[in-house]
Homo-oligomer: A and B are copies of this chain.
């Protein structure tokens, strides 16, 4: 199984430094909100050139571990938000030519679970977020883009209300993948809007009344509908 010699990979300095800083952040030595030392200072501490430091921080910045408020110069330690991570995942998936079926299967696994937990754990505030997305969906009947965006917001709000960060973070990338497919469906399948509206309403009712089983099963129906919509849409292409 294992060879006698492993291929040695020499990590360039900027990668090592990135890892070192990351360690400190994950170990909470550098806590969220703390400002990072200046690039010059870091260069001195690590005994490398500022250019090298810059390449290292770029890595952490991209991972969302470092960031800065708008118009702020110094970097500070931040906690990566779902959005910053999910874009990376969905770009990866896009490049792998994900099919609608793959996406759909994943949604069938994740969204109903999220709805179920949302029904038992949602706060009043989270419920409001969900209804707000639903209201926006009802309002934006004309504009396809706005409609789609409201649907995605609905999913995001439900996932957030599940009180489960892992589910929320797993759900986030699905949205970005769903967007183009959903646009076509909404555009070309007339009955789609009405069905989405009904389903969202039922899901909200269940979540409001803490009926987890109902929330789950309505979300399942809702997602199933997407498959039907997609089949209709492709058949009329």
Contacts and interface: CB of A to CB of B under 8 A. Distances in A.
Contact of A51 (B32, B51, B108, B166): B51
A108 B102 contact: no
Given A85-B88, A92-B80, A166 B59 contact: no
- Copy count, this protein chain: 2
A89 interface: yes
A105 B166 contact: yes
A126 to B, nearest CB: 16
Interface stretch (A33-41, A93-101, A200-208): A93-101
A93 B165 contact: yes
Nearest to A132: B1
Contacts of A170: 106, 109-110, 170
Query: Which of A95, A98, A110 gathers most chain B CB within 10 Å?
Result: A95
B113 A108 contact: yes
Contact of A58 (B55, B85, B91, B136): B55
Contacts of A82: 92
B94 A164 contact: no
Interface stretch (A62-70, A182-190, A228-236): A62-70
Interface string A10-30: 000010000000100110000
A62 B65 contact: no
A88 B88 contact: yes
A230 B27 CA distance: 23
Interface string A59-84: 10011110000100000000111101
A54 interface: yes
Nearest to A7: B70
A47 to B, nearest CB: 19
A154 B136 CA distance: 44
A167 interface: yes
Contacts of A54: 51, 55
Contacts of A92: 63-64, 79-82, 84-85, 169
